[in-house]
Structure formats: structure tokens, C-alpha cells
Amino acid sequence: MADATPERTRAALDARYGRTADRSRRDRWIIVVAAVLFAAIFTAWVVWAGLDNGQGGLDARDIGHRLVDDRTVSVTWEVSVTAGTEVSCALQAQNEAHGIVGWKIVDLPASETYTRQYTETVRTAQRAVTGLIYRCWLT
């Protein structure tokens, strides 16, 4: 009779704190379903990211600038993009306080080469100290 009391006590405590066989099966089922959902979402993301390989790859890099006179700056930059893709770039000239004193949008035609170099002049409202690329985008 002494063995029945601890067993009954353990069963009562298990029932009170939710450590039953049904609860265990339910917890395992939830874990399995969560793992399957995670694997499905992760697989879909990998496929989606893999299919986007090479789509829209654009890189623009400043090469340099040359101050032509008090109202003009020449900007040289390089664009790397998939052959046959048209690109537009915004160029800007800045003064000593880094204020924008000149702005120009340049449309670049499609080309068969991946990396191309361009030089363009930007007219300014006051003396510029630098000229650079603001941003390039696919058109």
C-alpha cells in the first residue's frame, strides 16, 4: 500500500501540471508541424533567391572629377551592368559645405560590354569642389 500512494501522488501532480500522455503527443505533433512549415518556407526562399540570380545587378563607381571652371565640373564614373541593359544615373556637384550646386541626370544606352566608363560635365550654380554619382538605376 505504501507504493500506491507515491504513484497516485505522481499521477495527480502530472495531471495538475499538464504532464499527461495526451499532452506529450500534442506537443510532439506541434513540433513536427512547425518543423515541416519551417522547412517548406526555407526551401521556398532558397528557390526564390536562386531564381533571382543575376537579375538587376547594377554597380556604379566614381572614378574622379575635374573642375573645368567656376561653373562647370567634369565627372568620370564607371557602370557595371548586364549587357543590353539601359541605365540612368544622377550626377551631382557639391560646394565646400557639401551643398548640391549642380545636378544632372544622364541616360546611358544599352551596351554589349559589362563595364563601361563615362565622363559628363555638370553645370553649377556656384563654384564646386567635387563632382560625383548620386545614384544609378535600371531604365
Asked whether residue 38 falls in the same domain as residue 62, the answer is no
Asked whether residue 89 falls in the same domain as residue 109, the answer is yes
Residue range(s) defining the domain that contains residue 80: 58-138
Asked whether residue 22 falls in the same domain as residue 90, the answer is no
pLDDT digits (tens, 9 = 90+) for 103-134: 999 999 999 999 999 999 999 999 999 999 99
CATH number at residue 122: 2.60.40.3230
Asked whether residue 85 falls in the same domain as residue 114, the answer is yes
Asked whether residue 67 falls in the same domain as residue 88, the answer is yes
What total number of domains does the chain contain?
A: 2
CA distances from 138 to 1, 15, 34, 66, 107 (A): 84, 64, 40, 26, 10
pLDDT digits (tens, 9 = 90+) for 70-106: 999 999 999 999 988 999 999 999 999 999 999 999 9
